[in-house]
Amino acid sequence: MGSDHLTLIALLTPAAAFLVLAIVAPLRRAGRPAAYFSILGAAGSLAAAVGGWRAYDGAVMRLAWEWLPGQGKPLATIGVLADETSTIMLVLVALVAFLVQLYSLSYLSEEPPPGLGRYYTYQSLFAFSMMGLVLAPNLLQLFICWELVGLCSYLLIGFWYQKPEAARAAVKAFWTTKAGDVGLLIGIVMLWNVSGTFDLGELRMMVSSNQLPLAGLSIITFCIYLGAMGKSAQFPLHVWLPDAMEGPTPVSALIHAATMVTAGVYLLHRTAWLFALTPDVLLIVAWIGAFTALLAAVLACVQDDIKRVLAYSTVSQLGYMMTAIGAGVSVAGFFHLLTHGLFKALLFLGAGAVIHAVGSNDLSRMGGLARRMPQTAIVFVVGTLSLAGIPFFGGFLSKEEILGSVWGGGLVGPFALLMLVAFLTAFYMFRVVFLAFFGAPAVRPAVAVTGFSPIAHYDAAGHHGDHGSHEHDPPAPMLLPLWILAVLSVGVGIYSTAAGRILFFGPAAAEAGAAEHAAPGWLTPAAVGVAIAGIALAWLTYYTRTISASSLASLFGPIRTAALRKFWIDDLFEGVVAAATLAFSSLIGWIDRYLVDGVLNVVSAWTVTTGDEMRSIQTGRVQDYLYGLAVGLLLLLVWVRWSLM
């Protein structure tokens, strides 16, 4: 079987799992059987995806069926497109989806059976939608799947919908990404208007043969970028991602770290040849990406919630990828997407294990966990080193590639921002490591155990309320995914560091990536240097406590205060949205009250007055009626007589 058929199987397996779980209600309500069924589907999907990746031989394979008929050629097709980008991305999606589903089995073990079945139904739907997005041969199918993953994100963020924050976060995520999606839809339709096709292959042909008119193309690419901005949490549409952490931690790992949020980066990488025609938009992409990276990194430094640190870190790394795309080397951004998917999923699942054990997201409740959870500590440190970009770990080369491409692209400003972000990334991640895994165990009030906060209650699904005895490494179904991801992160890191080039792509892509920029020799030492400086600062502050955290905080007083308020961006949005909604509704209210109701009131008042005046005719006396009758008849007779004459 060719890679196209294998990828199709990988796509349809979770779809089948979803359909069965959605239709066969008893299976879904049974909980664990539904989970096993879904995991089985994910495993099959992973096997097919790996098969499709290995079977890929350099020739672009596509399977497409006519969907919307058109004149001459179909208006839209539906199918799979297997090329070097989609096959490797498919493997990442299938792998993380499978590991997360396996992990969730233990993480959500205390969930009631119907809830568990619902969870796995959504998970299967998500896996299918994300794979459909990855494999989409045209922009229309991509958009449909794009919306489907948005729906799954909404459903899974709001999985604990009884919790008001979760329901609110779900709605916020849905609306914010939807704001960007409108741009994407407009962009796709406008692109169709000038090119007459949705098909990625045909569009690429048109671009390479210069058939696409350049006038107005910037607007189109910017609209497409708006969609990516919403999905990939770029400033100013990044506000939904930190709130999305209200969902279960495995969901955060899968959707809000490894796969769905990277869809924007993937889309821009997929259409990089189109964006290459509009350098002005690329410049916007680069600057917004770098700014987002810095903003999120600063925000991550002041968070006390372990998941929120990771969430802002994700936003920051997405900014990194976007900057690389803006610099015109989308391969570097895509490579970082893949490595980031591995180690960020690892970090989230590790954080999940910690939350599971401690029963709280709060860093101040952790401390000294390395002794009691040694395996979790090891894999978490591996993920942290990968994120910091230390050689021989996953994120090292991809980060280097991005920095090199941004420097090579002549974007000095974004480059400087990204170097600062590299420092901050190392700092805030090791802050988490030192606070959570080292130092003295936090003093936990014994009384507060039973009356836990709602977050702890919901998030610590497998938690029994007794702290001391439960702070140990998680059970095997949770540990196994952690180790697999850790080994893969290190493996990718060692291979890419040793080989010194992008490993997944064919040699052609690697050469193309290398030829486009020539990284200066000082880049690697500088990047590793700032990362180590960040680690050192975190070590001095949070491990040896040579530098007191409070003096560090007072050094950056105003920035810290602003960061604690999320730079007022959320407040601004809420204010603007609230003001706009209020203004609009009061306008509508005025129209309703004075125009719509006014007309009705005038008509009814007129009717009432007329009726009041006319009622005096009705005396109720028979004789008056008779009199009227006689007079009327007489008049009628006179009139007939007169008209006949």
Q: Please report how close the Cβ of residue 615 comes to other proteins at its closest, in angstroms.
A: 4
Q: Which of residues 139-198 bind other proteins (CB under 8 A)?
A: none
Q: Please report how close the Cβ of residue 639 comes to other proteins at its closest, in angstroms.
A: 19
Residues 325 and 265 sit within 8 Å (Cβ to Cβ): yes
**Distance between CA atoms of 232 and 264, rounded to whole angstroms?**
5
Helix (H) or strand (E) holding 81: strand 76-82
Nearer to other proteins, 469 or 623 (CB): 623
Nearer to other proteins, 557 or 620 (CB): 620
Q: Which of residues 253-292 bind other proteins (CB under 8 A)?
A: none
Q: Please report how close the Cβ of residue 629 comes to other proteins at its closest, in angstroms.
A: 10
Indicate the length of the chain as a whole number. 645
Residues 68 and 209 sit within 8 Å (Cβ to Cβ): no
**Distance between CA atoms of 138 and 135, rounded to whole angstroms?**
9
Residues 607-626 as x/- pattern, contact with other proteins by CB under 8 A: -------xxxxxxxxxx--x
Single residue of 564, 630, 635, 637 touching other proteins by CB under 8 A: 630
**Distance between CA atoms of 522 and 535, rounded to whole angstroms?**
20
Nearer to other proteins, 273 or 627 (CB): 627
Residues 569-608 as x/- pattern, contact with other proteins by CB under 8 A: ----------------------------------------
The values of phi and psi at residue 138, to 5°, are -140, 165
Nearer to other proteins, 617 or 645 (CB): 617
CA 457 to chain centre: 25
The crossing angle, in degrees rounded to 10, of helices 306-326 and 279-301 is: 160
Report if residue 636 touches other proteins, rule: CB under 8 A: no
Nearer to other proteins, 601 or 619 (CB): 619
Place of tokens 């208007």: 193
**Distance between CA atoms of 335 and 92, rounded to whole angstroms?**
11
**Which amino acid is located at 183 in the chain?**
G
Report if residue 548 touches other proteins, rule: CB under 8 A: no
Radius of gyration for the chain, computed over Cα atoms and rounded to the nearest angstrom: 31
623 exposed, middle or buried (CB, 10 Å; 0-12, 13-18, 19+)? exposed
Angle in degrees, CA 481, 482, 488, rounded to 5: 85
Nearer to other proteins, 608 or 630 (CB): 630
Cis before residue 236, ω within 30 degrees of 0?
yes
The candidate with the shortest Cα–Cα distance to 144, out of 46, 67, 55, 50, is 67
**Distance between CA atoms of 63 and 5, rounded to whole angstroms?**
8
Q: Please report how close the Cβ of residue 640 comes to other proteins at its closest, in angstroms.
A: 17
Q: Please report how close the Cβ of residue 626 comes to other proteins at its closest, in angstroms.
A: 6
Count of C-beta atoms within a 10 Å radius of residue 608? 10
Q: Please report how close the Cβ of residue 603 comes to other proteins at its closest, in angstroms.
A: 21
Nearer to other proteins, 551 or 618 (CB): 618
Q: Please report how close the Cβ of residue 578 comes to other proteins at its closest, in angstroms.
A: 53
Count of C-beta atoms within a 10 Å radius of residue 463? 20
Nearer to other proteins, 622 or 645 (CB): 622
**Distance between CA atoms of 632 and 137, rounded to whole angstroms?**
83
Nearer to other proteins, 551 or 616 (CB): 616
Q: Please report how close the Cβ of residue 164 comes to other proteins at its closest, in angstroms.
A: 58
Q: Please report how close the Cβ of residue 638 comes to other proteins at its closest, in angstroms.
A: 15
Strands (E), 228-269: none
Nearer to other proteins, 69 or 620 (CB): 620
Q: Please report how close the Cβ of residue 182 comes to other proteins at its closest, in angstroms.
A: 59
Angle in degrees, CA 258, 259, 265, rounded to 5: 100
Residues 520 and 528 sit within 8 Å (Cβ to Cβ): no
For the chain, the straight-line distance linking the first and the last C-alpha, in angstroms and rounded, comes to 103
Q: Please report how close the Cβ of residue 623 comes to other proteins at its closest, in angstroms.
A: 5
SS3 of 359, please?
A: coil
Q: Which of residues 441-460 bind other proteins (CB under 8 A)?
A: none
Nearer to other proteins, 440 or 617 (CB): 617
Nearer to other proteins, 208 or 619 (CB): 619
Residues contacting other proteins: total by CB under 8 A: 13
Q: Which residues contact 316 (CB under 8 A, 6 or more apart)?
A: 292, 293, 294, 296, 297, 300, 421, 424, 425
Nearer to other proteins, 215 or 622 (CB): 622
Residues 234 and 322 sit within 8 Å (Cβ to Cβ): yes
Which DSSP category does 145 fall into? H
Report if residue 627 touches other proteins, rule: CB under 8 A: yes
Q: Please report how close the Cβ of residue 609 comes to other proteins at its closest, in angstroms.
A: 15
Q: Which of residues 60-99 bind other proteins (CB under 8 A)?
A: none
Q: Please report how close the Cβ of residue 636 comes to other proteins at its closest, in angstroms.
A: 15
Q: Which residues form the interface with other proteins (CB under 8 A)?
A: 614-623, 626-627, 630
